[in-house]
Chain A
Amino acid sequence: MQADEQPLAEDDDVVRMTQNERTVWAYLVTVVVTSGVYLALMATRLADGPVEDVSWVVPMLWAVAASVTSTVVLTVVLTVAGAVGPSIVAAVRDPRGRVPAAPVEVEAISDVRDQEISRRGDRASFGAIGVSVAGALALAMLDADSFWIGNLLFVGGTVGAIVETTTKIRLYRRGF
């Protein structure tokens, strides 16, 4: 750290994520986990029998529902951990030391930078989603099994979500 980057005396010494960045991280983790579990299940079922017999609708609905609820829960957990974590760490490291009397304030506002990052992330996901929609149309025209159409759209949505969230995290961390 250069001399001019040393924290000024009045600055907080812990740089926390904004609420939006926490949500992006939570979304990335849950999408990877839930989609990974779903796709592994489908791969197993495909290996066990013909595609016409593979039951995929209910597992996909569960995967989508789990992704949404897990994102909300994980965001709340990360927010609470971000608010009280520094106090707990300080107390554990130095039980007799000065510990903040109250949990640190959580910044809940979404500002212009968050909105710009959100726009750029959304735009980055359009490619993956567009390709999967075009592919699904082509499969429908070729009379492919609905398994392939539904799952191509699912994979497109998953890849789009991963591209979107990693783009946003890169913009939060490296700037633009």
Chain B
Amino acid sequence: MGPKPTRVTNRVRELRAETGDLTQAELARRLGVTRQTVIAIEHGRYSPSLEMAFQIAHVFARPLDDVFQYEAPGSRP
């Protein structure tokens, strides 16, 4: 697979694992999207809108920047 099309990274998968019983399907249901969209977000193939990003953070009861990070051009990984 080629380079990811977005500089936004996220910890959605990790947070789902920490939560224990939150499947992709269940997260998708809570967000009102398809499971494929959750998969695309987790794999960095789709950057959600600001509103959906807040919704995801709300599901995990975390601040937004605990879930999503932005790697600015030229910054160290």
Contacts of B5 in A (CB 8 A): 174-176
**A114 partner residues in chain B, CB cutoff 8 A:** 34
Interface of chain B: mostly helix, strand, loop or mixed: loop
Measured CB to CB, the closest approach of chain A to B42, in angstroms, equals: 9
Instruction: Please report whether the interface of chain A is mostly helix, strand, loop or mixed according to DSSP.
Output: loop
Instruction: Please indicate the chain B residues that have their CB under 8 angstroms from the CB of A141 in the complex.
Output: none
Closest residue of chain A to B16, judged by CB? A8
A4 to B18 Cα, complex, angstroms: 13
A12-B4 in contact (CB<8A): no
For the complex, what is the distance from the CA of A174 to the CA of B3, rounded to whole Å? 9
* Chain B nearest Cβ from A123, distance in angstroms: 17
Q: A8-B16, A174-B5 are in contact. Are A15 and B36 (CB under 8 A)?
A: yes
The segment from A69-77, A104-112, A145-153, A156-164 found at the interface with B is: A104-112
Q: How far is the CA of A96 from the CA of B18 in the complex (A)?
A: 35
Complex Cα–Cα for A16 and B38 (A): 13
Most chain B CB within 10 A, of A4, A11, A18, A114, is at A11
B59 at the interface (CB under 8 A from A): no
Q: Contact: B34 with A113, CB < 8 Å?
A: yes
Decide: A4 and B49 in contact? CB cutoff 8 A.
Answer: no
Which residue from chain A places its CB closest to the CB of B35 in the assembled complex? A107
Q: Mark A1-27, 1 if CB is under 8 A from B, else 0.
A: 000110010111001111001000000
A12 to B23, CA, bound (A): 8
- Best-surrounded residue of A17, A109, A111 (most CB of chain B within 10 A): A111
A4-B13, A15-B39, A174-B45 given as contacts; is B33 within 8 A of A113 (CB)? yes
- By the criterion CB–CB under 8 Å, are B23 and A111 in contact? no
Query: Chain A residue with minimal CB distance to B42?
Result: A5
From residue 35 to 68 of chain B, which have CB atoms closer than 8 A to chain A? Answer: 35-37, 39-40, 43-46, 48-49, 52
Cross-chain contact A11 with B37 (CB below 8 angstroms) = no
Contacts of B25 in A (CB 8 A): 11-12
Q: A107-B35, A176-B5 are in contact. List 4 more A-B contacts (CB 8 A).
A: A10-B21, A11-B23, A109-B33, A174-B2
Q: List the interface of chain B (C-beta within 8 A of A).
A: 1-2, 4-6, 13-14, 16-17, 21-25, 32-37, 39-40, 43-46, 48-49, 52
